[in-house]
Chain A
Amino acid sequence: DAKTTQPNSMESNEEEPVHLPCNHSTISGTDYIHWYRQLPSQGPEYVIHGLTSNVNNRMASLAIAEDRKSSTLILHRATLRDAAVYYCILRGHRGSTLGRLYFGRGTQLTVWP
C-alpha cells in the first residue's frame, strides 16, 4: 500500500546538495505528496508536502514532476544532522484514501563530514 518507490540508501558529503527521488506512478489527482524523515531513535517528523507546484520551506524544497508521477526532495546543504531515513508518502484527500499515511521503507541518507 506504500504506492511509492525510493532508493534504499544514498550518501552525501556535508555542505553539498542532496536530491532524494521518489516515484509514485499510480498517484491519483487528489493525493498530496508528503515527505517525512526519521532521525535515529526518534519518531518521524514532517519535512514538506505539495500537490502540483514546487514548494519551499526552511527545511527543504520539493520538486514535483509535471505529470506528478515522481518528485524530488532537495536538501540544499546537507549537514550531519540531516542523516536520517526519508519517507515519501502519498496522502489521500478524499474518499476511501482520505488521510491515510502509508510509509514505505524510505531512503537512508548518510552524510559524510
Chain B
Amino acid sequence: GAGVSQSPSNKVTEKGKDVELRCDPISGHTALYWYRQSLGQGLEFLIYFQGNSAPDKSGLPSDRFSAERTGGSVSTLTIQRTQQEDSAVYLCASSTPDRGNTEAFFGQGTRLTVV
C-alpha cells in the first residue's frame, strides 16, 4: 500500500486477555516505531526497530509488552494480560534508512479499549 497500515483499527478486549496489534510499514522502510497515546496525552515512545540492529526497547512500560519485526517488514506489538490502563491508541511509524534527516510516516493507529 501507499502508506503505513495498522490493524485492527479498533480492538475491544477483556481485562486479562492478550492482544496483538499489527503494523505494515511502507515498503523499503527499514526504521519502524511504536508509540501509544492515551486520551488527551502526547505520544509515548514504546520501541524502535532499525534494520538488523537490536531494537531499542527502552520505552516498553512493562514486561507484558513485547514487539517483533519479521523479515524486516511487518511488526507485531503484543500486550499480555491486558489492564485497563493499557487502553490507548497505538501508533506505528516507519521511515527510510535512518540518518536523522528522514521523514517518518505514521499509520492511523489502533484504538485499544480494555474493559
Chain A contacts to B: CB under 8 angstroms: 1, 30-32, 36, 42-46, 49, 51, 85, 87, 91-94, 98-106
7 tightest A-B CB contacts, nearest first: A43-B106, A93-B100, A99-B98, A103-B43, A46-B103, A105-B42, A32-B100
Select B42's contact among A31, A98, A103, beta carbons within 8 Å.
A103
Contacts of A51 in B (CB 8 A): 101
| Given the contacts A43-B109, A46-B105, A94 and B43 also touching, CB distance less than 8 Å | no
The answer to whether B50 and A103 have CB atoms under 8 Å apart is no
The answer to whether B106 and A44 have CB atoms under 8 Å apart is yes
* Closest B residue to A45 using CB positions: B106
| Given the contacts A43-B91, A99-B48, A92 and B100 also touching, CB distance less than 8 Å | yes
Q: Is B93 an interface residue (CB 8 A)?
A: yes
**CB < 8 Å A-B pair total:** 64
Separation of A85 and B50 alpha carbons in the complex (Å)? 27
Separation of A31 and B4 alpha carbons in the complex (Å)? 25
The answer to whether B105 and A101 have CB atoms under 8 Å apart is no
Select A46's contact among B35, B44, B50, B104, beta carbons within 8 Å.
B104
* Closest B residue to A92 using CB positions: B100
- Can you report 7 A-B residue pairs in the complex whose CB atoms are below 8 A from each other? A1-B45, A43-B106, A43-B107, A43-B109, A93-B101, A98-B50, A103-B42
* Closest A residue to B92 using CB positions: A43
Nearest chain B CB to A61 CB, angstrom units:
17
Separation of A51 and B48 alpha carbons in the complex (Å)? 22
Nearest chain A CB to B105 CB, angstrom units:
7
Contacts of B95 in A (CB 8 A): 99
The answer to whether A30 and B91 have CB atoms under 8 Å apart is no
Nearest chain A CB to B56 CB, angstrom units:
7
The answer to whether B106 and A99 have CB atoms under 8 Å apart is no
The answer to whether B99 and A93 have CB atoms under 8 Å apart is yes
